[in-house]
Amino acid sequence: MHINNMIRKFFLISLTVLAVVSFSKISVSASEPQKETKNITSSAPIQIVSDRLDAYNDRGLVVFSGNVVATQEDKIIKSDKLFLHYKKREGESEKVGSKNIIKTGELEKAEAKGNVRITQGEKIVTGENAVFYNDSQKAVVTGNPVMQDGNNIIKGEKIIVLLEENRGIVESTPGSRVTATIYPEETEGKKK
């Protein structure tokens, strides 16, 4: 079905941006060598620019805040804040003041909050929040999420992308409905 293909194709490409940023080899502590992370989809450099960066060693958390812009090639994520939650190394104590800001190179989840806008070419995803879960390879966009590919637009209450299953789900809430405006593609032989 055309809508399912659009959802799958659009979100897999667009939200891969979030995954790519999430799986980047960001190391805040110079004493911690960078670790390889799984599921990196591109080796192109990722640049994250923000007004502020806070690293919370005891929680395995890095927070970019204020006009956050993460860019990799033609993919851009903009948000008010970007939270990177890292997994803790097995057997490592929970001591505050440990030398390593990021406990491992492996990301648990990434959250973009506030005025989220993910773009790649004509593909745009907007919402108030976007969360990428590394282990389950799932991305969830909430807060009036809208996905747009050219003139095609899909809106709902929640957009879920299951990356490993190569499918997307758009959910509504009671009293609301999912809406889609799809413009059929013209084929060469049928152009007006």
What is the pTM assigned to this prediction? 0.69
Exposed, middle or buried by CB within 10 Å (0-12, 13-18, 19+), for 43?
exposed
Please report the pLDDT score of residue 128 as a whole number.
Answer: 98
Residues 6+ apart with CB under 8 A from 32: 99, 100, 101, 102
Exposed, middle or buried by CB within 10 Å (0-12, 13-18, 19+), for 55?
middle
Of residues 32, 58, 68, 60, the one with CA closest to residue 134: 60
Please report the pLDDT score of residue 189 as a whole number.
Answer: 62
Domains of the chain (ranges, CATH numbers) = 2-27+47-88+100-184 (2.60.450.10)
Over residues 59-118, the pLDDT tens digits come to 889 999 999 998 888 888 899 999 999 887 666 555 444 445 444 568 899 899 999 998
Look up residue 60 and give its amino acid: G
Over residues 130-183, the pLDDT tens digits come to 998 888 888 899 999 999 988 999 999 999 888 788 788 999 999 999 999 999
